[in-house]
């Protein structure tokens, strides 16, 4: 685990502050977005970065289509074959309309 953590910190510096608990470690992450829906497509703050995350346990079932949509984003510059606007990352922006739900990202 230590060697993996050392390599990962080069790419994700925030991992350096996380404790390493061998008894609690498992292979993989369980990621969720605040609304428990995935985040496919370009990041508005860094358009060269394309997200395919936040799907949690549904990711395996949705992987073929998400992969196709992300490939479309990369190749064509946008996703046009399916309306994914409700899943855009900017739905968590402070200025987005969220009704009674408090926006934010969970890390």
Instruction: Looking at mean pLDDT, say which of 28-32, 44-48, 74-78, 94-98 comes out highest.
Output: 74-78
Q: What's the number of domains the chain is made of?
A: 1
Q: Is residue 41 part of a domain?
A: yes
Tokens of 63: 């992987």
Q: Is residue 4 part of a domain?
A: no
What is the number of residues in the chain? 107
Q: Is residue 40 part of a domain?
A: yes
pLDDT of residue 16: 84
Share of the chain above pLDDT 90, in %: 25
CA distances, 42 to each of 10, 74, 100, 104 (Å):
23, 9, 27, 18
Q: Is residue 76 part of a domain?
A: yes
Q: Between 34 and 25, name the one with better pLDDT.
A: 34
Q: Between 78 and 24, name the one with better pLDDT.
A: 78
Range of the domain at 86: 29-92
Distance, CA of 88 to CA of 55 (rounded, Å): 13
Residue 100 has pLDDT above 60, yes or no: no
Specify whether the CB–CB gap between 71 and 62 falls below 8 A. no
Specify whether the CB–CB gap between 70 and 81 falls below 8 A. no
Specify whether the CB–CB gap between 54 and 38 falls below 8 A. yes
| pLDDT tens figures, 31-40 | 788 888 899 9
Mean pLDDT of the chain: 80
Q: Between 89 and 30, name the one with better pLDDT.
A: 89
């Amino acid at each position: 685990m230590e060697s993996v953590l050392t390599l990962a910190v080069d790419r994700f510096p925030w991992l350096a502050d996380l404790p390493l608990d061998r008894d609690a470690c498992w292979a993989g992450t369980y990621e969720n977005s605040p609304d428990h829906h995935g985040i496919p497509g370009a990041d508005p703050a860094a358009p060269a970065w394309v997200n395919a995350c936040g799907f949690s346990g549904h990711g395996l079932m949705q992987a073929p289509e998400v992969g196709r949509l992300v490939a479309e984003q990369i190749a064509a510059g946008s996703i046009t074959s399916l309306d994914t606007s409700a899943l855009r990352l900017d739905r968590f922006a402070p200025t987005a309309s969220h009704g009674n739900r408090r926006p934010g990202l969970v890390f």
